[in-house]
Amino acid sequence: MNNLKLFLIIGAGIFSGMVLMTFIQLEKAEYRMEALGFIAASAAVYFLLLWIFQRGMKKAFTTAVVILALLAISTAMFHHVLFPAGH
């Protein structure tokens, strides 16, 4: 088994588990649709990154991962500005 096949199996297991947990834990259809949309977008990014890495585009892969990491850190640090709460 090569690395790509292993990562595809791992990704499928993770995202199918997240979908299952969405149906188990969330009661309202509105919340389920929001969660499923996020899971679908996350799965698309994951499999797109796997495809880029498998095609041998190391610079594009590294650039995409660095951009995602910077966005994640920025969102975590500035969440109160981006998503204001009514406290």
pLDDT of residue 86: 66
pLDDT of residue 87: 59
pLDDT of residue 66: 92
The amino acid at 3: N
Region 16-35: mean pLDDT is 90
Tens digits of residue pLDDT in 39-84: 999 999 988 888 888 888 888 888 989 998 998 898 888 888 877 7
What is 15-83 written as a DSSP string?
Answer: HHHHHHHHHHH--SHHHHHHHHHHHHHHHHHHHHHHHHHHTT-HHHHHHHHHHHHHHHHHHHHSHHHHS
| Nearest Cα residue to 38 out of 20, 18, 67, 52 | 18
pLDDT of residue 75: 84
11, pLDDT greater than 70: yes
19, pLDDT greater than 90: yes
